[in-house]
Structure 1
């Protein structure tokens, strides 16, 4: 079946194809000059990686498969170094291609491996999770984690294309699927309120990959991200709005040793950012409550219980910080994102009390 095509502009333009049975698009995305492909895939997804490898082999490419750990365990320097050594052994050249197959962690890793191998080779991403489709695989951000924080080492490296095959979503564990909804709902709050309306009209449908609006929700969230990164690839201004809820979210993930689902952390982080904006006099209470209502309706958490001082210390090395000044993405109204710079410590703590158990 054909998929819808969402264009991401900018210096390195590419298309995101959303649909079912879209692997036929893969050879063209791999590029005419490629003679070999390194398929980096989550080790728990051999049944999804195999058709990707077959599609490339049918197009005449030599395929080298590189299974990597599932989840955040993939985003470690040791795993990345193993890929570099594997690429060298396979004789990967500048005209060859890296194909990332899996969730957001796998595509983050594969993208960074492509960005850093021979100073940059072509990458094609095949996200297999909801979070990967609407967030990690779109936008050109790549990276790995270090003990000091998440995604602190990485590069901007736009892919040559992204293939979102919605058929892979039905194999996802329910909690992982629901986690991905947080990034879709985020897109609704910062830019496309129609997303919120679709979720509110049918929360059960939104929480299921078989729901009547799954494709539209994915397409709308991808379109929001495409519009933003087309105008600002390297997060010099506008792109920061995509980090709504992420300042506290990344602190939560570090506190939980990255065993906490990203979307769950983002859901809590969005409520925190909404409370921060309310306490700063920038957001009405009704919109804060809409955050809680929409998120809880699909099964996402809106509160967290760790001690504040540790979370606050982690926020200091957030990528949006400038020196010692914290910068938050907040809302001044529905689909009206703004920034809050250097909020007072008592305001930060007060907002956290509103989300702490």
Structure 2
């Protein structure tokens, strides 16, 4: 399966195909001229797939180097970025060379940021290996790293030249790592794709069912993401719909300590918390919070976080990129399959953090 992200300045394709990792050489050869390629990955994914990707690229006539870093959200910072810059410089990477991000969302965000800032920008490709990255973070050109103040506070908008998704890589994920990706999948069903929501309803929530439906749910999710990105590349309008559950979710991630609560888990917590208050305010339909809660629980996603420190969460929210002056844009679901922006004051946002 193939999807086109038809941006005017930088269009590219998303390839979704079981076993496609074995064809990485021909895929890259169809996109790039012979050059030096730096694979950026983490130590876990690198041990599983870096050699396979490297050999495929070497066979296709590319020169290949590999940079890896300690896996986890805690490594997604400027310190790791500086280590990557040093590695690229020492290996003679130039503006005519490229980077491949091989891994989950942390790798994709960090490698994309490095590619977009090294020598003012070199081209890059995304090969996401986690469900979260395959359905969400590898598409759309958002790159970024965390600071002690907020998640993804420092970043760029830079589109990849292509995205290669091999659902078979999901088989090597741990159970928790696979399940957390379903937080983003559930979100896509809620904000736009009723057919996806119905498919999720038909599943029994097991790891086996996720793997069996992987190609389909990845395609549906990427289709929503790509359409929204094309309509609003720089995140000023409808692309904000993709942030349903993220405003509170990012605050949960930041206050818990990066990596303690995984991104998809935090999104699930954020969706349930925001929906509960929005439903009370009659901004979302009666019963939808329970539907979201039951869907998340079916797939083993958390719906709450302890300890719930309202003051610390609000402090993190104040640094959110969606905050503008004394207001913040939250996303609500007025009905299943649609989303809307609900701009409120930061003061009112405190109500959405009440348990």
TM-score (norm 2): 0.94
- Match in the other structure for 2:15: 17
Moved more, 175-184 or 8-17: 8-17
The reply to whether residue 7 of structure 1 matches residue 9 of structure 2 is no
- Match in the other structure for 2:221: 221
What's the CA shift for 1:289?
Answer: 1.3
List aligned pairs for 1:186-335, cutoff 5 A: 186-205=187-206, 207-208=207-208, 211-258=211-258, 259-305=260-306, 306-335=308-337
Rounded Cα–Cα distance in structure 2 between residues aligned with 1:226 and 1:29: 21
Report if aligned partners of 1:36, 1:92 keep a CA contact under 8 Å in 2.
yes
Report if aligned partners of 1:97, 1:122 keep a CA contact under 8 Å in 2.
yes
Rounded Cα–Cα distance in structure 2 between residues aligned with 1:297 and 1:26: 39
Compared with structure 1, are the counterparts of its residues 177 and 254 closer, same or farther at alpha carbon in structure 2 (3 Å cutoff)?
Answer: same
The reply to whether residue 49 of structure 1 matches residue 47 of structure 2 is no
Report if aligned partners of 1:39, 1:99 keep a CA contact under 8 Å in 2.
yes
- Match in the other structure for 2:131: 130
What's the CA shift for 1:93?
Answer: 1.4
Rounded Cα–Cα distance in structure 2 between residues aligned with 1:58 and 1:275: 54
What's the CA shift for 1:25?
Answer: 4.6
Structure 1 counterpart SS, 2:152: strand
What's the CA shift for 1:34?
Answer: 4.0
- Total equivalences in the alignment: 349
Structure 1 counterpart SS, 2:4: strand
Rounded Cα–Cα distance in structure 2 between residues aligned with 1:56 and 1:115: 22
Report if aligned partners of 1:295, 1:302 keep a CA contact under 8 Å in 2.
yes
What's the CA shift for 1:184?
Answer: 0.5
What's the CA shift for 1:204?
Answer: 2.7
Rounded Cα–Cα distance in structure 2 between residues aligned with 1:48 and 1:150: 27
Deviations 1:272-325 (A, max 9, x none): 221232132221221121111111111111122312111112111111111121
Report if aligned partners of 2:24, 2:53 keep a CA contact under 8 Å in 1.
no
Moved more, 274-283 or 133-142: 274-283
Rounded Cα–Cα distance in structure 1 between residues aligned with 2:246 and 2:179: 17
Aligned alpha-carbon RMSD (Å): 1.6
The reply to whether residue 40 of structure 1 matches residue 37 of structure 2 is no
Rounded Cα–Cα distance in structure 1 between residues aligned with 2:24 and 2:203: 32
Rounded Cα–Cα distance in structure 1 between residues aligned with 2:19 and 2:136: 21
TM-score (norm 1): 0.93
Rounded Cα–Cα distance in structure 2 between residues aligned with 1:80 and 1:203: 41
Rounded Cα–Cα distance in structure 1 between residues aligned with 2:210 and 2:289: 29
Report if aligned partners of 1:326, 1:342 keep a CA contact under 8 Å in 2.
yes
Structure 1 counterpart SS, 2:212: coil
List aligned pairs for 1:145-224, cutoff 5 A: 145-205=146-206, 207-208=207-208, 211-224=211-224
Compared with structure 1, are the counterparts of its residues 211 and 128 closer, same or farther at alpha carbon in structure 2 (3 Å cutoff)?
Answer: closer
Compared with structure 1, are the counterparts of its residues 334 and 209 closer, same or farther at alpha carbon in structure 2 (3 Å cutoff)?
Answer: closer
Deviations 1:199-254 (A, max 9, x none): 1111335x437643221011100111011001111101111111110000111011
Report if aligned partners of 1:276, 1:348 keep a CA contact under 8 Å in 2.
no
Report if aligned partners of 1:101, 1:107 keep a CA contact under 8 Å in 2.
yes
Report if aligned partners of 2:318, 2:346 keep a CA contact under 8 Å in 1.
no
List aligned pairs for 1:81-120, cutoff 5 A: 81-120=82-121
What's the CA shift for 1:28?
Answer: 4.1
Report if aligned partners of 1:101, 1:127 keep a CA contact under 8 Å in 2.
yes
- Match in the other structure for 1:336: 338
What's the CA shift for 1:348?
Answer: 4.0
Rounded Cα–Cα distance in structure 2 between residues aligned with 1:32 and 1:242: 31
